[in-house]
Chain A
């Protein structure tokens, strides 16, 4: 009897130990998963899309899961990142690293703009204001045909080789492209992990849990919110820039509100407020969509049914439910 209790206790502590280890090294474990990821995917371009949408959802999750604000305008951050990166390459002939920097800067800038205007609102109003502002951004890019190609989209973001300290990397080769983009995504994962583990990360969650108490403890709630939103813009802008380089085009659809809705779905599917959930959500959603749509034209029906099942059986998202079980 006592022996049994002992062993249960022991297994519990070891489970908790594992959990703590995994939490501490979450970014490294995520990086390892990303490195072997293309081997199990149906095709590499899809794996790259999953990385990019995962990063986009990761940035979104910072606001949605950790700060507790539902933004319905994240497409503006993602799309602006893509467009600025694309415009830098097409119209200014900037090298790839400068173009990516332009994309990140675009995400940060638009996030600051939307953030300043929207951050004082709460709940559904925040969702509506961000959505309205992102629609404004959509029309700005839609109308600036000379710069963005308008309806036809921006074409010609053709980066054939990446020059890395004299080393010529063939960006057309699918696997090379995957690992080049993965390098940025992994770097972003480490930065995200660092932000969340920092005192500022704790402040973000404090604001989410109890705004009044956070304010009483001396945190500037508005500034914390704004800063989080802007940081989120940086991640989404990076995702957009990588998408522009990956597909060599920027379609106007990237700025559409459906892209904002998609990221909410991905975050919910994977698990909001979990570190790796957005990546899992992006992988599950995009793989499902791609596999089922090859098989039948009624793919939406099947993906919809699976989505409903996920919501019913994994209320905290796929990853959220799994780690919830692991913790127990």
Chain B
């Protein structure tokens, strides 16, 4: 009895030894090394986005669109056969976590580039880590601070809109049309503050009257005490600067409170995902800005091509605004790699700066001084009838064409000309 056990043990140990040494021989064999050399290491793009948390839906759309850009690059042959790869990480909407994840992407995954983020604080955290290590970072989330000289570095690019551009476009559209008395309801964090600053700045041109700004903390679930106070101010326009779930809840409650009967609600950004989640009624009549809407496909061939490719890859789904940014952010970097013919950081920076591109929403380019993507801003309104499909939720009221005039000047941002 004991004997058999020992024997079996011996046998298995012998087998283990044989297998292990065979493996070792194979691993050390020239054959395997040849295999490795034939396939060069892929071009890695780190992609930290908040897959969990209140912006999860938007982030997952960004990943889908980013994967599409990578797939197109690879299908077209990559960089002389060298393929690209997206390394997705969850930053949990927390700057500390984002910084840690970026360190992982740079130090362990050895990514060539970083694209991503969906919060002002998070993108600034990522940017600080990447610029110290000389890695190109293309941010796809709104922020004014990232353009400013203190945070900017030559490695920093900003594919998304910034609050100044967005609120400017919406203000220029709304103030002459709806009236001059404005009340603000603002999420009490950088995004909200920067949006209000933008609205007030553009409001100077139209002599708007600021009736007051009520701040609410991020993640507020009940606005019932704030809305009557805003109604009592009797504004022409109520400007609500918040995002994600906050925006969905406040618009639902504003509808229930009858705010919309006498007051025009505007928002700097109307998010596609939020509109779909909250439904037509809540967003009815609200005017806001966005960077991309799939419906401009009858205007731009690039939008049509992007929509079709997205539909094909994801069973007829259409890309959202933030998703499109994921596509734009990854595609610009990969196109720059292609035109530079290398992943060398300095050469890719030069290629990005030289890029005049139209990949999904009409013409764009990166301004030299702050690497902000100069692009169009759409002013849109939520739609409740005549919808062609489930993604047909907005109508485009006007388009602000790309112009450096709508950006803060390089001098104002602290860049030396």
Residues of A within 8 A of B (CB): 42-46, 49, 149-153, 155-156, 158, 160, 172, 174, 243, 247-249, 251-254, 293-294, 297, 299-300
Question: B222 on the interface (CB 8 Å rule)?
Answer: no
Number of interface residues of B (CB under 8 A): 32
> A242 CA to B107 CA in the complex, in Å?
19
B411 within 8 A of partner (CB)? no
In the complex, what's the smallest C-beta–C-beta distance from B160 to chain A, in angstroms?
Answer: 15
Q: Which of B90, B99, B133 has the most CB of A within 10 A?
A: B99
Q: Which of A150, A160, A297 contacts B52 (CB 8 A)?
A: A297
B129 at the interface (CB under 8 A from A): yes
Q: Is B339 an interface residue (CB 8 A)?
A: no
Residue of A nearest to B94 (CB): A253
CB-CB < 8 A to B127: which residues of A? 155
Q: Which of B7-15, B118-126, B270-278, B390-398 contacts A (4 or more CB under 8 A)?
A: B118-126
> B95–A253 contact, CB under 8 A?
yes
Contacts of A248 in B (CB 8 A): 99, 128-129, 132
Contact call A152/B89, Cβ cutoff below 8 A: no
Task: From known contacts A248-B132, A253-B94, A297-B90, infer whether A153 and B103 are also in contact, taking CB-CB under 8 Å.
Answer: no
Is B92 in contact with chain A by the CB < 8 A criterion?
A: yes
> Is A247 a contact of B132 with CB atoms below 8 Å?
no
A-B contact pairs, 18 of them (CB 8 A): A42-B108, A43-B104, A150-B190, A152-B121, A155-B128, A156-B128, A158-B128, A158-B132, A248-B128, A249-B95, A251-B95, A251-B125, A253-B94, A293-B92, A294-B89, A297-B56, A297-B60, A299-B52
Are the C-beta atoms of A247 and B129 separated by less than 8 Å? yes
Most chain A beta-carbon neighbours within 10 Å: one of B92, B95, B107: B95
From B94, B107, B108, B124, contact of A155 by CB (8 A): B124
Asked if A153 and B95 sit within 8 Å, CB to CB, the answer is: yes
A256 to B: closest C-beta gap in Å: 10
Given A155-B128, A158-B128, A254-B96, are A45 and B52 neighbors across the interface (CB < 8 Å)? no
The 7 A-B residue pairs with the shortest CB-CB distance, nearest first, are A45-B103, A251-B95, A43-B108, A247-B99, A151-B190, A151-B189, A174-B107
Chain A residues whose C-beta falls within 8 Å of the C-beta of B103 in the assembled complex: 43-45, 174, 247
A165 to B95, alpha carbons, bound, how many Å?
Answer: 34
Cα–Cα, bound, A153→B133 (Å): 20
Docked complex Cα distance between A300 and B89 (Å): 15
Residues of chain A within 8 A (CB-CB) of B151 are 155-156
Q: Provide the B51-84 mask, 1 if CB < 8 A to any CB of A, else 0.
A: 1100010001000000000000000000000000
Q: Does B100 reach chain A (CB closer than 8 Å)?
A: yes
Within the complex, the shortest CB–CB distance from A72 to chain B, in Å, comes to 19
Q: Which residue of A lies closest to B131 (CB)?
A: A158
Instruction: Name B124's contact: one of A174, A243, A249 (CB within 8 Å).
Output: A249
Q: Report A-chain residues with C-beta under 8 Å of the C-beta of B107.
A: 43-45, 174
- Interface pair A297/B100, CB less than 8 Å apart: no
Residues of A within 8 A of B245 (CB): none
A153 near B52: Cβ-Cβ < 8 Å = no
